[in-house]
Structure 1
């Protein structure tokens, strides 16, 4: 009975270990892109048409991209803006909006922009680790300061040891939709994400999907939209 019980216990432990490994591998297969999203819908101009009910366009819809002068020059013209618009096309396709065929009119104009700021470290991290005195002979240090006191009582300034830093990124993507005939802005949305993930198409796609969450009738106010991205 004891041998059998021991075998059962070992089997259960093995099963538990395998389950934990599967769970960990599943967690490692995706990463989370947490976005702060704020959207504004104005499908009807109530100032110019009071009392007119808001008609929200239902899919399918067609659109055409428009660019600011700054997006037609420099790095944007060399491919960065093209790539961003390709990712935006995929994101809009998920909500039933597709690009108009060449040479045909489109009722909607879409402008997309993105920004990325690379920081050497997260905003809450110190550029230096606490420094504890050393030198020759006994002494003591002041944590977080660039000083130490030797055994003779001499105060010596020394630069604190630099932290091994990991870059931190602050990113934002923004979409503006205009009514082509009137030029009126009918929809505006942006998603912001801070984190250490490197820039990839999957990351930007997740931010675009977050920005278009609840399109075309989003809730009011700032909200968090989390998107899981396969590694």
Structure 2
């Protein structure tokens, strides 16, 4: 029988945490993560009159469009990211029956898509004193509000502020604005916002774009939550 080492009070906990993490990783291979979005949409189809002066009904799929860009989105530094975002938006728009116009075709609609990310060092509700880097190997257990940690070997060591470990938290938003191409009038606007720790990825942005286009082209009024499940 192995005698517990009195100088390593956290060793057993560390081994247990590692084992639990391994089981969680194995069980999560086929799981999904939830992208919860706050969505708000505005439809103004009736604001676009026909040549006869009558209001235009809500357009039914299929429809064709072209992407339009703001001057800031045409900047060379932003071009690659905007290209990638528009490719994902085209996939989401195709799901609701809207496709990009072929070369030489003048479409009735233009679509402007934008995405923004704000990276925070921690979640808004977390204290900057909650998390630390411990010295040596193994996890570190911090004393909230103090610059000391208990390391995996059981030692109490000084850990100044710059050694504290923080897990980034991201606030993201996507928006789509649809205009009548001939007049430039905005006929549809929608945006989806999501907060979380997930790193940027195509599936994440696609989930947000799909959420923004939920109930298109006749969305309900007001802010609503749209959850999208994404395979891990």
Q: TM-score, normalised by structure 1?
A: 0.73
Bigger Rg, which one: 1
Q: Secondary structure at the match of 1:44?
A: helix
Tell me the distance in 2 between the aligned counterparts of 1:94 and 1:30.
21
Output the aligned Cα RMSD: 2.9
Aligned to 2:75: 73
* Alignment map for 1:103-114 (pairs within 5 Å): 103-114=104-115
Aligned to 2:90: 89
The CA deviation at 1:61 is 0.2
Tell me the distance in 2 between the aligned counterparts of 1:144 and 1:66.
50
* Alignment map for 1:1-231 (pairs within 5 Å): 25=27, 29-45=31-47, 52-77=54-79, 79-129=80-130, 144=145, 163-231=164-232
The CA deviation at 1:103 is 1.1
Tell me the distance in 2 between the aligned counterparts of 1:169 and 1:105.
38
The CA deviation at 1:52 is 4.4
Tell me the distance in 2 between the aligned counterparts of 1:76 and 1:212.
24
Contact 1:119/1:167 (<8 A) preserved? yes
Which structure 1 segments of 5+ residues have no match? 1-20, 132-141, 148-157
Which structure 2 segments of 5+ residues have no match? 1-22, 133-142, 149-158
Tell me the distance in 2 between the aligned counterparts of 1:196 and 1:118.
10
Contact 1:128/1:161 (<8 A) preserved? no
The CA deviation at 1:75 is 2.4
The CA deviation at 1:74 is 3.2
Tell me the distance in 2 between the aligned counterparts of 1:31 and 1:179.
37
The CA deviation at 1:163 is 4.4
Tell me the distance in 2 between the aligned counterparts of 1:52 and 1:163.
64
Tell me the distance in 2 between the aligned counterparts of 1:189 and 1:74.
26
Counterparts in 2 of 1:38 and 1:106: CA distance versus 1, 3 Å: same
Deviations 1:192-228 (A, max 9, x none): 0000000000000000000000000000000000000
Contact 1:40/1:188 (<8 A) preserved? yes
The CA deviation at 1:123 is 0.7
Q: Secondary structure at the match of 2:77?
A: helix
Tell me the distance in 2 between the aligned counterparts of 1:143 and 1:84.
41
Counterparts in 2 of 1:106 and 1:47: CA distance versus 1, 3 Å: closer
Aligned length: 187
Tell me the distance in 2 between the aligned counterparts of 1:114 and 1:102.
26
Contact 1:130/1:144 (<8 A) preserved? no
